[in-house]
């Protein structure tokens, strides 16, 4: 069974409520109907009901819950709750009233208040616009200082990672994490690998140096992050600093880091910053013809996932299933 099929099966085991704020967007609408038919989640679409129904005349949305934020019975409650949550930032009642009319904020409040278990958006909104309400309202999970993201990569060569499956992080959120944040990204990604893929994590902290082969302040950050990550998760196999070939290739690992439990066997690659992470996953995806599933947002107290604006209907269905499984694992 393929990876996505097994994630979909997990999602079906205990159905969760997933809210889709971009309810009037055509791909999102189609994905909602498919996710509902496949039993992956109880989907809620946000938007004006007439507009939603006029968009897809050929698609039956009768089984899907549609909520118009401004007219919903929860609107006033969410406005008040948001003022309380953001009081320390000086949010006024008027500002809250306007924010909660925005489906991205309304949907995030649904998740915060327990009226939905997770949120998926980003088909027409930027990463920043999708994540900002989640960062402000849902916040990080206990013990996790930073929200980050990972990609599940399925490469053609089964000798790498776990039968050709690896997780790459952070490829989409934190431009330049410090060593403590990088450590948290490593530990969070290990947990995502266990929860979504059933991996036994072998986490490589990547650099242009392997175990002191180069000296530079950029390398120092990775060395320090490795130390912090080991402290945070003493039972997880984490090692660094490692070059990508030492992390992935057994014969290179034997030469460069023979005593490492991770080198040559890594299935989780932690990049030192967003430039390398984002470039790295796109190179593997395009030149290596790999499947890239994500970005999967991790480290939030409740799951919110961002789509690429170029996403297909199937991509949205897959992210709904992933979000539902993340909600199960809380």
Closest distance to ligand ACO from the beta carbon of 278 (Å): 5
- Using the contact rule CB under 6 A, the part of the chain among 134-142, 225-233, 257-265, 313-321 near ligand ACO is 134-142
To the nearest 10°, report the CA torsion of 37, 312, 21, 87: 130
In contact, 186 and 266? CB cutoff 8 Å: no
| Structure token digits, residue 197 | 């893929």
Q: Lay out the sheet containing 17-20: strands in order across.
A: 65-67, 42-46, 17-20, 118-121, 304-306
In the complex with ligand ACO, the residue whose CB is nearer, 173 or 320, is 173
In the complex with ligand ACO, the residue whose CB is nearer, 72 or 136, is 136
d(CA 325, CA 291): 20
Q: Give the residue from 195, 171, 133 showing the smallest Cα distance to 327.
A: 195
Segment 301-320, which members bind ligand ACO (CB under 6 A)? 308
CA R_g for the chain = 21
d(CA 268, CA 158): 15
Give the total of residues touching ligand ACO (CB under 6 A).
17
Tokens 């650099």 locate to 207
CA 4 to chain centre: 15
Segment 251-280, which members bind ligand ACO (CB under 6 A)? 278
Interface with ligand ACO (CB under 6 A), residue from 37, 70, 76, 128: 128
Output the 3-class SS for 84-138: HHCHHHCCCHHHHHHHHHCHHHHHHHHHHCCCCCEEEECCCCCHHHHHHHHHHHH
d(CA 220, CA 205): 12
Interface with ligand ACO (CB under 6 A), residue from 132, 180, 191, 227: 132
Closest distance to ligand ACO from the beta carbon of 219 (Å): 23
- Using the contact rule CB under 6 A, the part of the chain among 42-50, 123-131, 248-256, 320-328 near ligand ACO is 123-131
Closest distance to ligand ACO from the beta carbon of 300 (Å): 8
Segment 164-203, which members bind ligand ACO (CB under 6 A)? 172-175
DSSP code at position 140 = B
Closest distance to ligand ACO from the beta carbon of 20 (Å): 19
d(CA 267, CA 278): 17
In the complex with ligand ACO, the residue whose CB is nearer, 209 or 278, is 278
Does residue 46 interact with ligand ACO by CB under 6 A? no
In the complex with ligand ACO, the residue whose CB is nearer, 17 or 292, is 292
Tokens 């996953």 locate to 281
In the complex with ligand ACO, the residue whose CB is nearer, 52 or 297, is 297
Interface with ligand ACO (CB under 6 A), residue from 147, 203, 319, 325: 147
Does residue 131 interact with ligand ACO by CB under 6 A? yes
Closest distance to ligand ACO from the beta carbon of 131 (Å): 5
The residue ranges that bind ligand ACO (CB under 6 A) are 89, 127-128, 131-132, 135-136, 140, 146-147, 172-175, 278, 295, 308
């Amino acid at each position: 069974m393929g990876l996505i099929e097994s994630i979909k099966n997990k999602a079906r085991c205990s159905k969760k409520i997933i809210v889709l704020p971009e309810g009037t967007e055509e791909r999102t609408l189609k994905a909602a109907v498919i996710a509902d038919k496949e039993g992956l989640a109880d989907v809620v679409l946000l938007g004006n009901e007439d507009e939603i129904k006029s968009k897809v005349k050929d698609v039956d949305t009768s089984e899907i819950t549609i909520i118009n934020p401004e007219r919903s019975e929860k609107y006033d409650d969410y406005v008040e709750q948001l003022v309380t949550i953001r009081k320390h930032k000086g949010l006024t009642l008027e500002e809250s009233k306007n924010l909660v009319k925005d489906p991205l904020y309304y949907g995030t409040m649904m998740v915060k208040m327990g009226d939905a278990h997770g949120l998926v958006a980003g088909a027409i909104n930027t990463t920043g616009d999708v994540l900002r309400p989640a960062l402000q309202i849902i916040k990080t999970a206990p013990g996790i200082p930073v929200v980050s993201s990972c990609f599940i990569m399925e490469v053609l060569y089964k000798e790498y990672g776990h039968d050709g499956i690896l997780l790459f992080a952070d490829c989409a959120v934190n431009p330049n994490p410090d060593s403590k944040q990088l450590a948290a990204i490593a530990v969070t990604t290990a947990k995502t690998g266990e929860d979504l893929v059933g991996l036994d994590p072998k986490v490589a902290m990547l650099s242009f140096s392997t175990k002191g082969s180069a000296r530079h302040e950029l390398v120092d950050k990775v060395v320090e992050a490795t130390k912090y990550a080991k402290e945070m998760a003493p039972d997880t196999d984490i090692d660094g600093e490692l070059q990508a070939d030492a992390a992935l290739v057994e014969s290179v690992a034997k030469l460069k880091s023979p005593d490492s439990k991770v080198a040559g066997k890594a299935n989780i690659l932690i990049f030192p910053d967003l430039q390398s992470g984002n470039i790295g996953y796109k190179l593997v995806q395009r030149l290596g013809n790999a499947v890239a599933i994500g970005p999967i947002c991790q480290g939030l107290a409740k799951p919110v996932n961002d789509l690429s604006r170029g996403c297909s209907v199937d991509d949205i269905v897959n992210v709904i299933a992933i979000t539902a499984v993340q909600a199960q694992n809380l």
